[in-house]
Structure 1
Amino acid sequence: MRDSVVDTDIIKAAVTLACRAPSLHNSQPWHWVFDGRVLQLFVNPERPVPATDRSGRETLISCGAALDHLRVATAATGWTANVDRFPNPNDPDHLASIDFSPSQFVTDGHRRRAEAILQRRTDRLPFAAPTDWDLFETELPASLDTDSVQLAVIGDRDRPELVAASDLTESLRLYDTPYHAEIYWWTAGLSSTEGIPPSALVSAAESDRVDIGRSFPVTPDSHRRPEVGEDHSKIVVLSTFDDTRDSVLRCGAALSAVLLDATMAGFATCTVTHLMEFPASRSVVARLAGGHLPQVLVRVGLASANGTTPPPTPRRPIGEVFEVRSKSVL
């Protein structure tokens, strides 16, 4: 039965896990409100990244990923999350209403997928080529809403053109003072609960071995994962048929699915979005990926087994992103 009463502690734990979703610069732009039956997801307007995300798409993708993480987290506890997207046309910040119904059975797969949320990292180091990629690529679409989101993998012979598009975005940002100030703010280590810590960044030497990625301030000289050499990741592209808020939010859910599938398969991942921030580079990705509107890339590969996996990035305290209100005040 939908709209069942769910213990607040169960929802709070599920939201805590959902907030492990990746977000632009680890800005965590979500706010959750629970009334005992229905959980509401809002964009937090106090978490802007305007210089980087001028269109607002990357913020929606982040929230869509958190929404899918929530679905995975509740499934592992025996509840099905029923999502109603954009329930209030008068409030564009109100992204979803979620009610819950008991599920029939919790499988080991449900539990493993929830565990993958905690295992996933944004890994900016170079990757070795993923093993058994053809099989993994064939199975990937099964986790996606392919009516809304399309998946493509950039072929190796097209990679140099994608690298050139990545370099183009960096050149277009060269004198963009607000952008560089924003990047510095989110990576300066001023907060222990948000932003990108030094442990999640790379040195200049490590960055030179990754040909597709956003440029961040570099860390002190280090040469982690030397046995990998140059990056040999596969590049997954998630695209939509339009740029409506609903489509972009659904793309965020697809991003979550790809990241968790890859984590469960033993792969490392890194989400990449800077190529979609300029029409020139976005059009290159669109052509290489099949002509739709690309929203996000994911590097997928193998990390080494010698302990160079980045530690988890920080998250804001649950009390800052989740609140319980009586139904009468919602």
Structure 2
Amino acid sequence: MPKTMVNVDVIQTAIQLACRAPSLHNTQPWRWIVEAGDLHLHLDRTRCVKRTDGAGREAIISCGAALDHLRVAMASAGWMARVERIPDAANPDHLATVTFSPRAVVVAGDRRRADAILQRRTDRLPFGSSPNWSQFARMLNAVIADRAVILDVVDDAIRPKLAEASALSDALRIYDSAYQTELDWWTAPFTLVDGIPRSALVSAAESDRVDIGRTFPVVTERPPRSGLQEDKANVLALSTARDTPKNLLRCGELLSEVLLEATLAGMATCTITHMLELTASREVVGAAIGRTHPQALIRVGLAPTFGRIPPPTPRRQLADVFEIRG
């Protein structure tokens, strides 16, 4: 049977949406290549943050989130994506090969998920608690199931242990000049197409209210979110059985699903990984949640309706991440 070909304009539009996926320090460590009618996703190791993510674990998770964003974008355009993960065992940086087939029907839910890609923000400010959290958590466990990835709803009683791991990570890195230099580079106060813009950072007072957030360079004092003296977000944890590229890729795909479902439910989100980058703090988190290989934590809560909402972070040009061959 001949391969179904997708118009390249459709693929380009979908990739632009896929590249709205979150990534460590907004590094966007992905490269997309169309060749012989297939779409290939590669890890771009030149975009890895070497001191922070030396093995590229978080970069692969980021690529997994972009892969799921692509699936969502193509579904809204009337195409089903079939994904072969790690298609070449000799080249683990070739993360996926994607082929497409036409869908008979595009439902409203497909379009809403694609819209959620543009609505989602990484919000580092403190959140209010969600009154519908139990219902949302049950829904997640019902619709998101994957043998390779474990989704845990973290009990509030465990949060002090997470705060301990966060403080330990900060303490171990306070005199790590290479890490601090990387962090300063990716939060530089000049206009970029990547990195974390100043508008997405928080003030010292706001940072102090989030006990499990990464310590970023702070910005000029801003009025805190009204009525929020401390972060009331609920926390989700994603873990895998092993740290293999395929498991990490699937973890990123599941991360995307969780973030988009939360966005559709009207909730704000922030992915947390700093306390999983060092062995000591990762072991504290793993022991707290009962998992050997925790990969990401996600704060989920409510942002005040009239509060400050972070603007979208910049993205690289399509030509920098996409190539057509043959």
Supply the distance in 1 between the matched residues of 2:63 and 2:189 (Cα, whole angstroms): 23
Does residue 289 of structure 1 match 2:289? yes
Equivalent residue for 1:28?
A: 28
Alpha-carbon deviation of 1:158? Answer: 1.5
141-150 vs 302-311, greater mean Cα deviation: 141-150
Deviations 1:109-151 (A, max 9, x none): 0000010000000000000001210010011124434201101
Alpha-carbon deviation of 1:227? Answer: 2.1
Equivalent residue for 1:231?
A: 231
Alpha-carbon deviation of 1:50? Answer: 0.6
CA distance change for structure 1 residues 81 and 2 in 2, over 3 Å: closer, same or farther? farther
* Alignment RMSD: 1.3
44-53 vs 119-128, greater mean Cα deviation: 44-53
> After superposition, where does 1:159-174 map in structure 2 within 5 Å?
159-174=159-174
Alpha-carbon deviation of 1:226? Answer: 2.4
> After superposition, where does 1:72-221 map in structure 2 within 5 Å?
72-221=72-221
Letter of the aligned partner of 1:155 in structure 2?
D
Letter of the aligned partner of 1:43 in structure 2?
L
> After superposition, where does 1:44-59 map in structure 2 within 5 Å?
44-59=44-59
Deviations 1:166-202 (A, max 9, x none): 1010000011010000000000034421000001000
SS in 1 for 2:153: strand
Supply the distance in 1 between the matched residues of 2:127 and 2:154 (Cα, whole angstroms): 16
Letter of the aligned partner of 1:255 in structure 2?
L
- Tell me, yes or no, if the aligned pair for 2:282 and 2:294 is still in contact at 8 Å: yes
203-212 vs 136-145, greater mean Cα deviation: 136-145
Alpha-carbon deviation of 1:36? Answer: 5.7
TM-score, normalization by structure 2: 0.97
- Tell me, yes or no, if the aligned pair for 1:149 and 1:254 is still in contact at 8 Å: yes
Structure 1 gap segments, 5+ residues each: none
CA distance change for structure 1 residues 15 and 143 in 2, over 3 Å: closer, same or farther? farther
Does residue 301 of structure 1 match 2:301? yes
Supply the distance in 1 between the matched residues of 2:324 and 2:5 (Cα, whole angstroms): 14
SS in 2 for 1:168: helix
Alpha-carbon deviation of 1:68? Answer: 0.4
Letter of the aligned partner of 1:67 in structure 2?
L
Q: May I ask how many residue pairs the two structures share in their alignment? A: 326
- Tell me, yes or no, if the aligned pair for 2:113 and 2:260 is still in contact at 8 Å: yes
- Tell me, yes or no, if the aligned pair for 1:143 and 1:257 is still in contact at 8 Å: no
Supply the distance in 2 between the matched residues of 1:169 and 1:284 (Cα, whole angstroms): 10
SS in 1 for 2:184: helix
Deviations 1:201-231 (A, max 9, x none): 0000110111111111000011231222210
Equivalent residue for 1:70?
A: 70
Alpha-carbon deviation of 1:292? Answer: 3.4
Alpha-carbon deviation of 1:2? Answer: 8.4
CA distance change for structure 1 residues 189 and 36 in 2, over 3 Å: closer, same or farther? farther
Identity of aligned residues (%): 53
- Tell me, yes or no, if the aligned pair for 2:237 and 2:298 is still in contact at 8 Å: yes
Supply the distance in 1 between the matched residues of 2:182 and 2:262 (Cα, whole angstroms): 30
TM-score, normalization by structure 1: 0.96
